Amino acid sequence: MNISRRHMLVLLPAAAVAWESVLAGTPENSPNYNMSEHWWGMLIQIPKCIGCGNCVRACATENDVPDGFFRTWVERYHVTDYNLTEPEVISPNGGKDGFPIVQEDAGKYFYVPKMCNACADSPCTQVCPVGATFVSPDGAVLVDQSYCLGCAYCVQACPYGCRYIHPQKHVADKCTLCYHRITKGLTTACVENCPTGARQLVNLKDPKDPIHAFLKTHTVQVLKPQMATNSKAFYYGLDGSVR
């Protein structure tokens, strides 16, 4: 076969493009899980939280969260003298071991479970210089730990303090919304283990999900709405003092 220089000039780029598409392959579909049918979020009902710390322990067990780091944690707020700007907030060991007993009943107390807010417009993913963190097509904010450099831009970009650098892996780590569970038809570890139903995993794309009725009839709030993160962690009964 006689290939002229002119033919070669056309053939080589064509071969390169073809080789790229061969490398890319066809995407494999997870069995029984269709990403396009889900848009995950979380409903957290403050009046139901009793501060038992079950969610924190369950999350640590399920996800091998190292000691002293938290993918979810519980804060106890104490608002005295109607002073919403200076609440007293404690979270001993993230609430993992429960909270100290309070005898006197001055002011008001309440517990606020915190976790990744599953932002649709997440500030943390926008700052990643290497494309290692992203909002998945089904609405979970995830970290590709084999791609992460550990630069911690995302850690400081998250307005909710939900990320940390894993002390052994030296890469960014965070709540995955138990992506390995929700793609298997299970709920998250924190929701599974919440004894009062204060947490509820919601699929905003499912018209039969009770979240739609709840959002219509209840006043809900997201944390730091001024950050325009389009958070999907909806808080019911959230006090104005919560930051």
Partner 1 sequence: MNIFKDSGHLFKFAACFVIGFLIYLGLRGFVVPKTFGQYGHYRGSALKDIAAKPIKYAGHQVCEDCHTDQATAKSAGKHVTVNCEACHGALAAHANDPTSVIPVKPDPLVLCARCHTATAAKPKDFPQVNIDEHSGGAPCTMCHTNPHSPAMGAAPAAGGAK
**Binding footprint of partner 1 on the chain (CB under 8 A):** 9, 12-13, 16-17, 19-20, 23-25, 27-28, 30, 33, 35, 47-54, 58, 61-62, 76, 78, 98-99, 101-105, 109-111, 131-137, 142, 144, 146-147, 176, 179-181, 183-184, 186-187, 189, 192-197
Q: Which is nearer to partner 1, 185 or 224 (CB)?
A: 185
Using the minimum distance from each CB to partner 1, give the nearer residue, 19 or 170. 19
Distance CA 112, CA 72 (A): 11
Q: Least CB distance from residue 113 to partner 1, whole Å?
A: 13
In the complex with partner 1, the residue whose CB is nearer, 147 or 225, is 147
Shortest CB 93 distance to partner 1, Å? 14
Q: Which is nearer to partner 1, 1 or 16 (CB)?
A: 16
